[in-house]
Amino acid sequence: MTKNLMFLPLGGAGEIGMNLNLYGWGQSLDHAEWMMIDLGITFASPAEPGADVFMPDPSFIEDRKHQLKGLVLTHAHEDHLGAVAHLWPGLECPIYATPFTRTLLIGKLKEAGLEKRAEIIEIPLGGRFKVGPFDLELVTVTHSIPEPNAIAIRTPKGLIVHTGDWKFDPDPVIGEPADETALKALGDEGVLALVCDSTNVFTPGHTGSEAALFENIKDIIGQYKKRVAVACFASNVARLETIAKAAAANGRKVVLAGRSLKKFDSAARKHGYLKGIAPFLDEEDTANYPARDVLIICTGSQGEPRAALSRIASGDQRHVKLGKGDAVLFSSREIPGNETSISRLQNNLAKNGVEIITGKNNFIHVSGHPARDELSHMYQLTRPKIAIPVHGEFRHIREHANLAKSCQVPHTVEVTNGDVIKISEDGVKIIDQVYAGRLAVEGNRLVPSDGILFQSRTRVLWNGSIVISVVINANGQLLAEPEITSSGLLDDDDQDLLDDIHEIIPDVLKNISKIHQKSDKEINEALRVTIRRYFRKTLNKKPITTIHLMRLDRD
């Protein structure tokens, strides 16, 4: 039977974040060797109560884990490796990563007690190695973190280039510029398919260089005579260096506020990054210096409630305080879905008299993803026969497919999570669909996001709940007043509604024909439906309604 080359995204296609990509070679889904690229998370939104993060449901490949030959990580961002420590026990495959990424992953595995179980194979930058039937070569690109890689995947059907996250920055603060010579050489070799980042496909021109930020950030810091804080992503080591140099140019020492910042600082210095940058201070050192001599770099640019900047804004940070005359620079983009939490954080800061500076009106942030002209240049270098846009919402993927067509790419496909894509010399097509759900980190466990737990929790969030305990005799007569407990449904002055419920319950019981012959389940359901209908009519709500029925003297 003929073998097929397959691409199967289980995360990151039709959304930004939570990346999980599978490449398969074999006769069918169940008779193929698989390789995984990236295994990331996405952060929960306010509409998803109780969850911290979400990750792809890997059940498709867990059911075939004996066919999984390895997991390759393109870089160390959370949306590309954040799920490894949660999901690796179900996969039990070798992991391949460059030195910086490996260091950060080891830290996560230690926290999960997996550092002695998981095998992490370190691959040098530009390294070439094999995973099952796939021959891989790392290609240096530029992104907002050290050691990002595109991957050239040589397969029995042809050469695939998987870009990961990237951009073209001729003057990166950390690391080397993207290796355009290597990308062109791959194009000369003949690229069958380009699987490519779509994040900034709607952004015209070029993203811009990290190095260009220094002067503007330095000048803005120099305008303030009191305390200045900068919120950014902890993983953006280049931004840490830019901010640190801008602070030093203004005679300020730098304090790191946030656990993840310290992890990235440690990993970066271990691997030779942040050269020439003075050691950062801890939060408790802030009080030892005048306000004008300190700059604080904080986590929490997306309004995360437990991050350093949110705790500072609410006054819960012991060592760092911000008030009138101080300033906060938000040196990061707003991730779609986080607008409300960011606005809430900025309002809390403003109430304390803090001045807020964002990238909307100031040049204090550049993206790590390619804009349209950079995407076009990537197609000019690699000249693929097939374009497979990923790492974007569906509108990004469709626009990217249109852009690829304008770049004279013969074949494109618009994919979403769960699509099984057949790649061949003749083109590309969707040949199957598999389950591609999401798992939520809920406390210390993983639960399906489409399961009953989150369905019921969301219903309670919007409609409230009511629990009623009813005790009756064999003939359906009440032996005690019903006990009613509600949550998120009734207010203090809703006694009239409670009175109505006390009247409704005996009426329902009286109207059940031959109640002594009915099962508890039948009586329970009659009460539940009637009471739920009452709240639909009076409050236009459909609360989760639970009846605890106890029937005594059944004989």
What domain range is 297 assigned to?
A: 213-358
Q: Among 313, 329, 358, give the residue marking a domain's end.
A: 358
DSSP string across 275-294: TTPPPPBPGGGGGGS-GGGE
The two tokens of residue 525 are 């359901």
Examine the domain organization and report whether 244 and 260 are in the same domain.
Answer: yes
CATH code for position 346? 3.40.50.10710
Q: Structural domain tally of the chain? A: 3
Helices (H), 22-83: 59-62, 78-81
Examine the domain organization and report whether 339 and 389 are in the same domain.
Answer: no
Examine the domain organization and report whether 179 and 36 are in the same domain.
Answer: yes
* pLDDT score, position 169: 95
Examine the domain organization and report whether 86 and 189 are in the same domain.
Answer: yes
457 belongs to a structural domain: no
Contacts of 78 (CB under 8 A, 6+ apart): 40, 41, 235
Amino acid letter, 286: T
Examine the domain organization and report whether 238 and 348 are in the same domain.
Answer: yes
Q: Mean pLDDT, to the nearest integer, of 287-309?
A: 92
* pLDDT score, position 335: 80
In this prediction, residue 113 has a pLDDT band, given cuts at 50, 70 and 90, of very high
Q: Does residue 48 carry a pLDDT above 90?
A: no
* pLDDT score, position 46: 60
In this prediction, residue 50 has a pLDDT band, given cuts at 50, 70 and 90, of low
* Average pLDDT score, the chain: 93
Q: Specify the range with the lowest mean pLDDT, choosing from 4-8, 112-116, 460-464, 550-554.
A: 550-554
Residue 475 or 449, more confident? 475
Q: Among 330, 358, 386, give the residue marking a domain's end.
A: 358
In this prediction, residue 49 has a pLDDT band, given cuts at 50, 70 and 90, of low
439, containing H or E segment: strand 438-442
Q: Among 419, 448, 477, give the residue marking a domain's end.
A: 448
Q: CA 117, CA 133: separation in Å to the nearest integer?
A: 24
Q: Does residue 554 carry a pLDDT above 60?
A: no
Examine the domain organization and report whether 169 and 241 are in the same domain.
Answer: no
Q: Does residue 216 carry a pLDDT above 90?
A: yes
Residue 6 or 46, more confident? 6
* pLDDT score, position 476: 86
CATH code for position 148? 3.60.15.10
Examine the domain organization and report whether 191 and 222 are in the same domain.
Answer: no
The 10s digit of each residue's pLDDT in 263-295 is: 999 999 999 999 999 999 999 999 899 999 999
Which of 379, 371, 374 has the alpha carbon at shortest distance from 408?
A: 379
* pLDDT score, position 543: 92
Examine the domain organization and report whether 386 and 304 are in the same domain.
Answer: no
Examine the domain organization and report whether 220 and 244 are in the same domain.
Answer: yes
Examine the domain organization and report whether 155 and 288 are in the same domain.
Answer: no
Percent of the chain with pLDDT over 90: 83
Q: Mean pLDDT, to the nearest integer, of 488-513?
A: 90
* pLDDT score, position 445: 80
* pLDDT score, position 179: 98
Q: Does residue 458 carry a pLDDT above 90?
A: no
Examine the domain organization and report whether 276 and 407 are in the same domain.
Answer: no
CATH code for position 495? 3.10.20.580
71 belongs to a structural domain: yes
Q: Mean pLDDT, to the nearest integer, of 12-39?
A: 96
* pLDDT score, position 555: 47
* pLDDT score, position 492: 84
459 belongs to a structural domain: no
Examine the domain organization and report whether 109 and 217 are in the same domain.
Answer: no
